[in-house]
Amino acid sequence: MLKHLTIFSLLALMSSCASTDKPEDKLSGSVDSLLSLMTLEEKIGQLSLYTSDWDVTGPTMREGYKEDIRKGRVGAIFNAFTAKYTRELQQLAVEQTRLKIPLLFGYDVVHGHRTIFPIPLGQAASWDMEAIERADRIAAEEASAEGIHWTFAPMVDIARDPRWGRMAEGSGEDTYLGSQIAAARVRGFQGKGYGDVGAVLACVKHFAAYGAPQAGREYHSVDMSERMFRDVYLPPYAAAVKAGSATVMSSFNDYDGVPATASEYLLNEVLRKELKFDGFVVSDYTSVMELIPHGVAADTASAAALALTAGLDMDMQAGFYQDALPRLVKEGKIKESLIDQSVRRILRKKFELGLFKDPYRFSDTQREQSTVMKPEFLEAARDMSRKSIVLLKNEGGDKAILPLSKNVKQLAVIGPLANARRDMIGSWSAAGDWKKSVTLLEGIKAAVSPATKVSYAKGCSITGDSTQYLAEAIRLARQADVVVLAVGEGGLMTGEAASRTSLDLPGIQQRLVEEIQKTGKPVVVVLMNGRPLTITWINDHAPAILETWYLGTQAGHAIADVLFGDYNPSGKLPVTFPRVVGQVPIYYSMKNTGRPLEVNNKYTSKYIDEVNTPLYPFGYGLSYTTFSYEAPVLSSNTMTSRDTLDVSVKITNSGSKEGVEVVQLYVKDEVGSVTRPVMELKGFQKVSLKPGESKEIHFRLCNSDLSFYRKDMTFGSEPGKFRVFAGGNSRDVKQAEFELK
């Protein structure tokens, strides 16, 4: 299939006018000589990854696994950290095995290691590549100081269905933004390169298309057109590979009927041949075993054979390679050379990390002590958190409720998430200690002047239907001058295995909001959630709404910075907010259809019970100031596929405060050989402007920005008319047009 797709077409798809160089290969000699000494069992050991266990005091390990390490039957361990513990396990490998091959330690360092940063969806709302890269640099510094070599991140799965809980772990709905972030995160984790002791190997996941399970239900089948896959879902993985991601994780889902873990097409054809990935591929947790319930393998042996043949190098946690490969080789069903190929890929990373020179170089107690949760890391986390906050509503112009005065007399902080320490760090929070996170209540108390009396009531629980705390919350609200009301989902209601059929506030929180609103007091709603929620009622009634995701260790301080105006919010939604769950999947870069919406024509593409438009569009977010845009000006009204086009956008701070705006550039291909999206993001820049100040922002469009998978599945552009849109979100835009000759 798709033989005519060239490597060059795919590299071009990564939407950059530049290219990268691969490091020179100097290690194959060392890898080969080591390989020549290895028994089959030792080789298979390198293909096996097992988890450490968990205890209240931290990670521990069953004797059986330790014995596997001593026997050389396991080459990598995950969920083990701290300099001391990884050193202990490493000693087993290095001092007690025949060939002294060091272990590789992996861990899910997803949004910080000890210092927890906002969940990835929140970080994506910053649209700030430098800040995102820095967050992962810090995560890598902390993790590597605790003996970790390898993170199972970034997760770059495009997600357009908020029912799927893992949307929280990615960068949202957009291919371009997602690809920029994928690359930034790989750069952040891998720092100066493989072997830098302050860095970890990245593992881009989950390859591929894991973000599109049917009906948003976790682990469900993925079935999409090849065109959709290549145009929308593949580019972020490609961008991560291009940025040098050392490893890739296969996904749980099937794709076009074949589970990704056993998909030769995905792993060998697309990933290795087209994207030129040369690291190793690890399965997701027991996904080799899951080939049996998927119904493509009848038993352990056929599952192991299918996965290895498909190009899956390392088996996470299933133990199927360990159990089945020795016999498969003896029976001649699997060639040892196939195993050698995977072992080579894994050993190479161990060499690149410098583990053969010093297997303990990452397990450094002193570095651990001086690195973990440094004040400057906490400051960076606070900054990243502020940048991730999105102001969704602040009605009233000059009289708007936000920012609040620090001298307000009575401030009531209400809601089940107002003082919810555990929830602040969200899911996949690695070795983050939730007890060290700052709640909203604490952040507010630390920010206000001594003249302010801050009261607090929970109001209700996050879930459940008990009304016992409501009355107290209403009483406090009545006494207050202003109410800050924190509602949303529990920190673990998103992440893996957290699909929902409703996007409403869980429990009786909606009732709490309505009761507080009834008091007539000015209310600022602070949302905490890992996916868009359907908050139409709140939008219709509350004067101010802040989207704060789960902001991590410094959450409370960061939210207070925004509430009281010490920081002017600049976040923009990386995902569309529907009005009702029935609109999903809803995303801005949809197709026009043959019957685009006409309000008064029944037979056009719409619902009979709800409008088509979202509550908040992709790219949306307000500021305490306002910005006005002029229509984009193009350097020419024609271009050829060899030219670049300069797009200049004049933007003015038309309000009274200094602020930062994310200027967004979208493109529409008017007529194609296949249907094209109504618009696609092709550039963005963050710009800071003083009141009254104007700036001209320049973007450069080149042929790859106009390219897509054409009718014949070749990648490229097509001549014709294009529209260019610029604005502060995907809805409110000004436009210009040009022709591609």
Of the pair 144, 554, the CB lying nearest ligand BGC is at 144
DSSP-derived secondary structure letter, 290? T
The beta strand positions in 459-583, using DSSP E, are: 482-488, 523-528, 544-547
Distance between CA atoms of residues 325 and 374, nearest Å: 46
Q: Which of 284, 313, 561, 705 is catalytic?
A: 284
Is there a contact between 393 and 543 (Cβ–Cβ < 8 Å)?
yes
Of the pair 215, 497, the CB lying nearest ligand BGC is at 497
Q: How far is the CB of 79 from ligand BGC (least distance, A)?
A: 7
Supply angle C-alpha 418, 130, 402, rounded to 5.
35
Is there a contact between 158 and 175 (Cβ–Cβ < 8 Å)?
yes
Number of Cα atoms under 13 Å in the Cβ half of residue 365: 4
Q: How far is the CB of 275 from ligand BGC (least distance, A)?
A: 20
Per CB under 6 A, 218 contacts ligand BGC = no
Per CB under 6 A, 254 contacts ligand BGC = no
- What letter represents residue 736's amino acid? A
For the record, the structure tokens of 533 come out as: 């929620």
Q: Hey, which residues between 315 and 374 contact ligand BGC (CB under 6 A)? A: none
Per CB under 6 A, 285 contacts ligand BGC = yes
Cα end-to-end span (Å), the chain: 31
The beta strand positions in 511-630, using DSSP E, are: 523-528, 544-547, 627-629
Of the pair 260, 473, the CB lying nearest ligand BGC is at 260
Q: What is the dihedral of CA 276, 282, 286, 290, to 10 degrees?
A: 20
Per CB under 6 A, 205 contacts ligand BGC = yes
- What letter represents residue 648's amino acid? S
Q: How far is the CB of 284 from ligand BGC (least distance, A)?
A: 5
Q: Is 574 left (phi over 0), alpha (psi -120 to 50) or beta?
A: alpha
Cis peptide bond prior to 154, omega within 30° of 0: yes
Q: How far is the CB of 168 from ligand BGC (least distance, A)?
A: 12
Of the pair 292, 633, the CB lying nearest ligand BGC is at 292
Of the pair 140, 462, the CB lying nearest ligand BGC is at 140
- What letter represents residue 74's amino acid? V
Q: How far is the CB of 52 from ligand BGC (least distance, A)?
A: 11
Q: Hey, which residues between 462 and 521 contact ligand BGC (CB under 6 A)? A: 496
Of the pair 176, 189, the CB lying nearest ligand BGC is at 189
Supply angle C-alpha 286, 291, 297, rounded to 5.
140
Q: How far is the CB of 180 from ligand BGC (least distance, A)?
A: 21
Is there a contact between 675 and 701 (Cβ–Cβ < 8 Å)?
no
Nearest to 271 by CA among 321, 204, 334, 210: 204
Q: How far is the CB of 152 from ligand BGC (least distance, A)?
A: 3
Number of shown-chain residues binding ligand BGC (CB under 6 A): 6
Nearest to 657 by CA among 391, 292, 458, 418: 391
Of the pair 303, 484, the CB lying nearest ligand BGC is at 303
Q: Hey, which residues between 67 and 106 contact ligand BGC (CB under 6 A)? A: none
Q: How far is the CB of 107 from ligand BGC (least distance, A)?
A: 8
Q: Which of 284, 290, 515, 705 is in the footprint of ligand BGC by CB under 6 A?
A: 284
Is 284 one of the catalytic residues? yes
**In 10 A of CB 276, how many CB atoms?**
14
What three-state secondary structure class fits 437?
A: coil
Per CB under 6 A, 50 contacts ligand BGC = no
Distance between CA atoms of residues 629 and 249, nearest Å: 42
Is there a contact between 188 and 135 (Cβ–Cβ < 8 Å)?
yes
Write the CA distances from 475 to 446, 452, 485, 516, integer angstroms: 24, 18, 14, 9
Of the pair 208, 512, the CB lying nearest ligand BGC is at 208
Q: Which residue is nearest to ligand BGC (CB)?
A: 152
Supply angle C-alpha 704, 191, 260, rounded to 5.
60
The residue count for the chain: 741
Q: How far is the CB of 283 from ligand BGC (least distance, A)?
A: 9
- What letter represents residue 502's amino acid? S
Per CB under 6 A, 152 contacts ligand BGC = yes
Of the pair 46, 427, the CB lying nearest ligand BGC is at 427
Q: Which residue has the tokens 């596929």?
A: 641
Q: Which of 68, 108, 254, 515 is in the footprint of ligand BGC by CB under 6 A?
A: 108
Of the pair 496, 643, the CB lying nearest ligand BGC is at 496
Distance between CA atoms of residues 386 and 379, nearest Å: 11
Residues that bind ligand BGC (CB under 6 A): 108, 152, 205, 284-285, 496
Query: Which residues belong to the active site?
Result: 284
